[in-house]
């Protein structure tokens, strides 16, 4: 076949299918552009709890991300949030809420809720699935934390005890007690969260759980359950269980992958992408830019048996950071960007060793691309490397998402903004 | 075998596994049966315990080899390939059922059945004969088996005059066993569509690619099959012919699986592999190069499109959708299911038939709900399974193109 790419089969090639890539791809495809998403595998969104953490700690706990962000951005000029206006952030949150199908979300960027983790620790998050919002400890009364004997990834006694202790430390103790429900294990020694979620789509199974819950719950209690209440019909499973149990029910994300809520959100966005005519090349990998006269005319993509240049007008680079392989460190400490070989802002090899403490800050945490105001990766001179490449999500450097609890907000807002920049150019 | 470098690269990829379980969340078999504990468990995890001793876990045999685990893995672990190889070792240790030896050899079936097609078809559709086959061989009585065409694709092709096309694009058509023995009409249509687009099509000498042997764990025979096929194709590949396949799984055998699963390492295979295209991939690239004819007549039909697991293994997306999208009047509904369940010969087996039908149930439900005129799908065994599971007629995308071009 021809070595040169012919007329573009795609307007936009999106590299990566995590939160940032999916948001950009859906937005562009729904605007009528021809979008091809190239995904080495299923994106990491399926491992995430599906809450949209915008800014949780800076470094003290943040009550209102919207209020904290201007000051945070001013203090961190290299942070991706320095490029995201409050309006873009709010628009991107609103956009997401309108694109998750029946898996409805609650909250906005003005207030952080405090949701219990599987360990019972209240965790700040701003925009969360409605199935989880009832766990907000700021308004939670007495609670029954229910688990399943066959689900070893969630221990209600541990969650309840910690929740009570942690909220006591906040000055408003929540009475929490555990219960283990007995669901049939079908001969299996243990059942994963995913298998349980699939079983919850079965009405008879749900009915059995609801009956047990009614027995266990007291009049004044809400019920916290691991986030296994259904997969494709999660919202109706949750609604029905609340009615059957006669008490408010909320989900708590399990700590061990796969994440059922993450799968729900990923599937909802993938569904939108497919219905908008977006294409996905699964298992394919970008191996470099396809240049014509020094300009990016496409992306070289490895499929089975060969690498093929694929033409496009724009690229959204959403391959993730160090954890996802979008940014790579080799044994010499050299840091590189894998898909398009863009220049990376990273500590030098002398700084790249271990930090002083196991959980201390590490210079490598902020490694990633530097971008201009429209999210185009720039070189050392501060100028865009390519006019038509936009970065989104964790591939952009400058953030410490796991410390800040900012990763979802960064991915959502930069994915949204990258699409917006392309839509402006497309006219 | 162990000295072959690509082999080690495949196995060593298990060190990239971070236990994220994305493969488990993607596996269509583990979703419907506790008999298969999932690709991570039997793959990168159990593989560490496999060595010179006996095989560690019989549940491995319930993997259908659909390959979605490898596609879904964001870390590049070759989960499906590791599992296929481990299963071959396990079946060698535990003994190979006669059934697996038989169903893994389409040329044998074809050569026996073709001359006596009416009788063979009668036997295959006879309930009593199928019951006997289930009891004696373990081939499920209801499993979808194809009908012998009686006249092979090659015997039709031999009687055709040399094509009058003046095209410069040279194509060597790899039709595979199923087109030859069971669906010769697909081969005729594929040749017509290629010729219509200015391709000079030749038919190299060819036999089975060895995929059914490979997926049943009979690796030595599979290697000799694929080497023989490559020997027939490589003279054309070296002359610059593009090798175009209508059987998407057999094309994938040449592109990837012979190297990554069977560990066949030679220059001839590399040359053939790099020149092999799935027919929809080939036509879609012609279109991108501005060289595909688009003189389509309106086809006022509604079709569903299911991309089979083996088609997804090409990592090329779904070029059939781009092609079908060019046809005026045609409404295409893209289905979002991983696998129809049959996975080649998996769903034929007595102990796996119900699992395969459960895997396919979502797809069957989608097709019934869509009420299409045709259910389009690239892979032959999947088409047979779809028809078996839904009653709907299932065709290859090229058959729709053939109709839209008004060829006959």
In this structure, the answer to whether residues A304 and A392 fall within a common structural domain is yes
How is residue A20 written in tokens?
Answer: 């940032």
Do the chains contact at A303 and B76, CB–CB below 8 Å?
Answer: no
Asked whether residue A361 is assigned to any structural domain, the reply reads: yes
Is pLDDT of A273 > 50?
Answer: yes
Please report, for the domain that includes residue B25, its CATH number: 1.10.1060.10
Regions of chain B with pLDDT less than 50 = 1-6
Asked whether residue A119 is assigned to any structural domain, the reply reads: no
3-state helix, strand, coil in chain B (%, to 5): 55, 10, 40
Q: Residue A365 belongs to what domain range?
A: 12-53+76-82+265-426
Contacting residues of B for A192, CB less than 8 Å apart? 21, 24
In this structure, the answer to whether residues A140 and A170 fall within a common structural domain is yes
| Residues A30-74: tens digit of each pLDDT | 999 999 999 999 988 999 999 999 999 999 999 999 999 999 999
In angstroms, the Cα distances linking B348 to A2, B87, B97, B143, B357 are 41, 18, 14, 5, 10
Contacting residues of A for B285, CB less than 8 Å apart? 1-2, 6, 308
Contacting residues of B for A186, CB less than 8 Å apart? 34
Do the chains contact at B315 and A304, CB–CB below 8 Å?
Answer: yes
How is residue B66 written in tokens?
Answer: 């659909």
**Domain termination residue (choose one: B94, B123, B154):** B94
Cβ neighbour number for residue A370 with a 10 Å cutoff: 18
Do the chains contact at B317 and A281, CB–CB below 8 Å?
Answer: yes
Is pLDDT of A5 > 70?
Answer: no
Is pLDDT of A203 > 50?
Answer: yes
Cβ neighbour number for residue B137 with a 10 Å cutoff: 17
Interface residue A3 vs chain B (CB under 8 A) = no
Q: What is the predicted pLDDT for the residue at A353?
A: 61
- The residue with tokens 């034929």 is B348
User: What would the mean pLDDT of A215-237 be, rounded to a whole number?
Assistant: 95
Contacting residues of B for A43, CB less than 8 Å apart? 74
Asked whether residue A140 is assigned to any structural domain, the reply reads: yes
Contacting residues of A for B334, CB less than 8 Å apart? 274
pLDDT-derived band of residue A334, with 50, 70 and 90 as boundaries? confident
Of residues A362 and B169, more confidence is placed in: B169
Residue A277 φ then ψ, to 5°: 85, 10
Among A78, A84, A92, A29, which residue's Cα sits nearest to residue A374?
A: A84
In this structure, the answer to whether residues A314 and A358 fall within a common structural domain is yes
Asked whether residue B220 is assigned to any structural domain, the reply reads: no
Of the candidates A1, A258, A303, the beta carbon closest to that of B314 is on A303
Please report, for the domain that includes residue A343, its CATH number: 3.50.50.60
Structural domain count, chain A: 2
Mutate to test the interface with B, among A42, A44, A262 (most CBs of B within 10 A): A42
Q: State the complex-level ipTM.
A: 0.94
In this structure, the answer to whether residues A300 and A202 fall within a common structural domain is no
* Helices within A114-257 (DSSP H only): 130-133, 156-169, 193-199, 203-216, 234-245
Instruction: Give strand pairing partners of A313.
Output: none
pTM for the whole structure: 0.95
Q: Residue B10 belongs to what domain range?
A: 5-94
**Domain termination residue (choose one: A183, A213, A247):** A247
In angstroms, the Cα distances linking A247 to A44, A117, A137, A242 are 34, 20, 16, 6
Between A288-292, A324-328, A342-346, A356-360, the lowest mean confidence (pLDDT) is in A356-360
Q: What is the predicted pLDDT for the residue at B232?
A: 97
Please report, for the domain that includes residue B312, its CATH number: 3.40.50
Do the chains contact at B276 and A280, CB–CB below 8 Å?
Answer: no
């Amino acid at each position: 076949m021809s070595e040169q790419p012919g007329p573009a089969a795609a307007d936009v090639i999106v590299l990566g299918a995590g939160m940032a890539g999916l948001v950009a791809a859906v937005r562009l495809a729904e605007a009528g552009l021809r979008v091809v998403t190239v995904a080495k595998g299923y994106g990491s969104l399926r491992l995430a709890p599906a809450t949209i953490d915008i800014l949780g700690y800076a470094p003290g706990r943040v009550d209102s991300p919207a209020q904290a962000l201007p000051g945070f951005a001013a203090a961190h000029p290299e942070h991706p949030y320095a490029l995201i206006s409050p309006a873009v952030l709010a628009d991107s949150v609103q956009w997401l809420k309108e694109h998750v199908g029946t898996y409805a979300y609650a909250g906005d960027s003005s207030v952080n809720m405090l949701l219990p983790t599987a360990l019972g620790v209240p965790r700040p998050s701003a925009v969360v699935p409605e199935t989880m919002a009832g766990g907000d400890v700021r308004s939670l009364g007495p609670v029954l934390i229910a688990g399943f004997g066959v689900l070893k990834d969630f221990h209600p006694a541990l969650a309840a005890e910690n929740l009570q202790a942690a909220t006591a430390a906040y000055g408003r103790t929540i009475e929490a007690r555990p219960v283990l429900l007995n669901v049939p294990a079908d001969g299996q020694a243990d059942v994963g969260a995913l298998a349980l979620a699939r079983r919850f789509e079965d009405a008879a199974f749900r009915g059995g759980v609801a009956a047990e819950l009614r027995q266990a719950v007291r009049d004044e209690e809400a019920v916290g359950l691991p986030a296994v209440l259904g997969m494709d019909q999660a919202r109706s499973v949750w609604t029905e269980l609340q009615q059957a149990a006669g008490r408010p029910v909320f989900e708590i994300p399990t700590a061990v992958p796969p994440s059922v809520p993450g799968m729900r959100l990923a599937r909802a966005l993938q569904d939108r992408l497919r219905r908008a005519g977006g294409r996905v090349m699964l298992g394919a990998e970008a191996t470099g830019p396809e240049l014509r006269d020094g300009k990016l005319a496409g992306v070289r993509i490895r499929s089975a048996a060969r690498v093929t240049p694929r033409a496009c007008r724009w690229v959204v680079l959403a391959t993730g950071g160090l954890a996802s392989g979008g940014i790579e460190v080799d044994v010499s400490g050299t840091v590189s960007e894998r898909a398009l070989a863009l220049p990376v802002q990273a500590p030098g090899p002398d700084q790249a060793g271990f930090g002083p403490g196991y959980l201390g800050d590490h210079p490598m945490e902020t490694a990633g691309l530097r971008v201009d105001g429209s999210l185009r990766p720039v070189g050392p001179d501060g100028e865009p490397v390519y006019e038509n490449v936009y970065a989104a999500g964790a591939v952009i450097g400058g953030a410490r998402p796991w410390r800040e609890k900012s990763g979802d907000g960064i991915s959502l807002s930069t994915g949204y903004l990258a699409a917006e920049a392309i839509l402006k150019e497309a006219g | 075998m162990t000295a072959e470098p690509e082999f080690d690269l495949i196995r060593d990829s298990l060190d990239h596994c971070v236990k994220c379980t994305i493969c488990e969340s993607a596996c269509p078999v583990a979703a419907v049966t506790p008999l298969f504990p999932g690709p991570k468990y039997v793959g990168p995890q159990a593989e560490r315990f496999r060595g010179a001793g006996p095989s560690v876990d019989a549940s491995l045999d319930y993997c259908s080899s659909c390959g979605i685990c490898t596609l879904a893995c964001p870390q590049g672990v070759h989960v499906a390939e590791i599992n296929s190889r481990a299963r071959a070792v396990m079946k060698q240790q535990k003994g190979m059922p006669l059934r697996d030896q038989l169903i893994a050899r389409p040329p044998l079936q074809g050569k026996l059945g073709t001359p006596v097609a009416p009788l063979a078809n009668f036997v295959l559709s006879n309930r009593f004969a199928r019951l006997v086959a289930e009891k004696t061989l373990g081939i499920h009585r209801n499993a979808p088996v194809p009908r012998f065409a009686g006249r092979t694709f090659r015997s039709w092709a031999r009687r055709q005059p040399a094509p009058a096309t003046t095209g410069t694009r040279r194509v060597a058509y790899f039709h595979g066993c199923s087109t030859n023995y069971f669906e010769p009409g697909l081969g005729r249509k594929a040749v017509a569509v290629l010729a219509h687009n200015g391709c000079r099509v030749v038919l190299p000498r060819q036999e089975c690619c060895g995929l059914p042997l490979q997926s049943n764990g009979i690796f030595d025979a599979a290697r000799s099959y694929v080497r023989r096929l490559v020997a027939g194709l490589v003279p054309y590949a070296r002359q610059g012919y593009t090798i175009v396949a209508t059987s998407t799984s057999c094309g994938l055998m040449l592109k990837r699986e012979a190297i990554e699963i069977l560990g066949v390492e030679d220059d001839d295979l590399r040359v053939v592999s790099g020149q092999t295209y799935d027919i929809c991939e080939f036509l879609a690239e012609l279109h991108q190069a501005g060289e595909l004819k688009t003189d389509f007549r309106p086809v006022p039909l509604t079709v569903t499109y299911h991309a089979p697991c083996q088609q997804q293994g090409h990592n090329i997306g779904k070029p059939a959708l781009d092609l079908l999208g060019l046809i005026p009047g045609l409404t295409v509904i893209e289905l979002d299911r991983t696998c129809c369940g049959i996975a080649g010969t998996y769903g034929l087996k007595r102990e796996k038939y119900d699992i395969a039908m459960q895997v396919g149930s979502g797809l069957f439900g989608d097709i019934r709900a869509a009420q299409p005129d045709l259910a389009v799908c690239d892979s032959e065994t999947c088409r047979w399974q779809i028809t078996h599971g839904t009653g709907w007629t299932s065709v290859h995308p090229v058959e729709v193109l053939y109709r839209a071009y008004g060829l006959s």
